[in-house]
Structure 1
Amino acid sequence: MEVGRRRLFFALPLPPQLREALGRWQGRLSEDAGEGARWCRPEGLHLTLAFLGDCPEEALPRLGAVGEAVAGRRDAFALHTAGLGGFPSLGAARVLWLGLEPSPALEALAADLRTTLGAAGEPFEARPFRAHLTLARFRRIRSLAGFPAPPPAAFAADRLALFESRPQGCYTPLQVWSLRTV
């Protein structure tokens, strides 16, 4: 990455209790996952809404304005985890993820954020939004069909954050905005 640029994304940070529970689950499975599994750090688990990629430093104030505007229009809502999946598929995966139950509020938040980014002229990865929490990455494609899912969990989606992705899977929130509470 060039000097003066940061690898950025907008996401929902997870509450500490859920991150800790998923960290314990990861710990129990780490031996079964075998060699070549890279587990995501529990403290960095998040729900990506829009990946921006390498951005110039001077974009930070504009991105902050986008985050503030979107958070100011959206109410907090509940989310529920819903089983494991894999990219490209569960039977031949390089990525293990935890899915979420369908949520119109989550879809609306992601669409609002992406529309606002586009209107502001801020580029982002245009891949369709697919709600998931990335848990692990694998060096080789493998079947994940036998992995037991973590217990279902409900949590509040009450904050929007602009994160920076740093080397070795370290994700740092640069700015955080509270969603509206009813």
Structure 2
Amino acid sequence: MERHTFLAVPIPYELQHQIHSYAEQINTILPLKKWTSPGDYHITLNFLGATSEDQAQQLVQNINHIKSDVHPFELTIDSVGVFGNPNTPRVCWLGVEQSSALTQLQQKTTKSCERAGFKTDDRPFRPHITLGKRWGGNAEITEQLPEPTQLTGSSWTVEEILLYEIHPQRVQKYVPYHRFHLGKED
């Protein structure tokens, strides 16, 4: 049976609720149709799409080969932004400070995905946490988004990445299929 999957950095539980509070604050400014559930916050490393069981198992093996070479690292939230027209955005997101460790991890997982037969995205990696998506307003927004001052500087240690399965009909749409603990061998 095929599933739809992606590799991502999960967001810690404590930080999910702080992010959600900020999303509720900007929800009154941005009429987006879909707001991300707190348990679904993540930073996508690689979107994979349709995934056979064989591909999933091959990818797990490939990531297991590289994960011990990637040590836990810090990430820090630093900004809010949108994709698309700033007056009618497609996506609203939180950004993280530039991290060479995150960039290197994404490059390594991309190679692992390609070795498992996945076609990877060739656009530049833009790490972000999606807050909401799909413009639903009748008019352009005129207010500027408030800076996420309660979140700016919030850091966490990335100790694992997850291979998620997508379940679009559930409230929490992203369900862990496999966890990879960084810097450790199984």
Please, what TM-score do these two structures have when normalized by structure 2? 0.85
Look up the SS of the partner of 1:167 in the other structure: coil
What residue number does 2:146 align with?
148
Q: Deviations over 1:120-148 (max 9, x none)?
A: 43333333211111110133475586111
What residue number does 1:27 align with?
24
What residue number does 1:67 align with?
63
Aligned equivalents of 2:11, 2:178: Cα separation in 1: 15
Structure 2 contact 55–117 (Cα < 8 Å) conserved:
no
Structure 2 contact 93–130 (Cα < 8 Å) conserved:
yes
Q: Give 1:175's match in structure 2, choosing from 173, 178, 184.
A: 178
Map 1:21-170 to 2 at 5 A: 21-34=18-31, 36-140=32-136, 142-143=140-141, 146-150=144-148, 151-152=151-152, 153-168=154-169, 170=173
Give, as a single letter, the amino acid of the residue that structure 2 aligns with 1:158: E
Aligned equivalents of 1:171, 1:16: Cα separation in 2: 14
Which structure has greater strand proportion? 1
How large is the RMSD of aligned CA atoms in angstroms?
2.1
The alignment covers a number of residue pairs equal to: 177
Aligned equivalents of 2:161, 2:126: Cα separation in 1: 17
Structure 2 contact 77–94 (Cα < 8 Å) conserved:
yes
Look up the SS of the partner of 2:109 in the other structure: helix
Unaligned runs of 5+ in 2: none
Deviation at 1:24, TM superposition (A): 1.7
Aligned equivalents of 1:127, 1:163: Cα separation in 2: 21
